[in-house]
Amino acid sequence: MIDRFFTWFVQHRRWTMLLLAAATIAAIAGILQLRTDDRVRDLLKSDSGDYPRLQEFIASFGGDDNECLIVLEAEEILSAPRIVRLQRFVEDLKRLDGVESV
């Protein structure tokens, strides 16, 4: 059956080219309609209740879509060993190229 399929394409080259041209035009038209939304606050949108707090924060302090937000969850996050690890993490982030502030 696959042989008949390919044989038809070889025997009907003009139709094959026309079909490929139509598919290419449709793909290009689809690509031109694509839009990306890379705003951080839209990525964080959820029903958890944290999103309204984020909106309040942005309203109070302003927002910048070039920021990176890191969320840490742990038991006893303010324990001495965890604070030391956080300080090391902050220092490592400061040394990265392109990082303006931490």
Looking at the fold, whether 45 and 24 belong to one and the same domain comes out as: no
DSSP helix/strand/coil, 100: coil
Give the per-residue pLDDT at 55: 78
Looking at the fold, whether 23 and 46 belong to one and the same domain comes out as: no
Give the per-residue pLDDT at 65: 60
Looking at the fold, whether 90 and 67 belong to one and the same domain comes out as: yes
pTM > 0.75: yes or no: no
Give the per-residue pLDDT at 72: 77
Looking at the fold, whether 18 and 45 belong to one and the same domain comes out as: no
What domain count does the chain have?
2
Domain membership of residue 100 (yes or no) is: no
Give the per-residue pLDDT at 84: 92
Give the per-residue pLDDT at 91: 92
The domain of 57 spans 40-94
CA dist list (Å): 25 to 10, 15, 29, 58: 22, 15, 6, 43
Q: From first to last of the 102 residues of the chain, give the pLDDT tens digit.
A: 888 888 888 898 999 999 999 999 999 999 998 877 666 666 667 677 777 777 787 777 776 666 677 777 778 888 888 899 889 999 998 898 878 787
Looking at the fold, whether 50 and 84 belong to one and the same domain comes out as: yes
Looking at the fold, whether 19 and 54 belong to one and the same domain comes out as: no
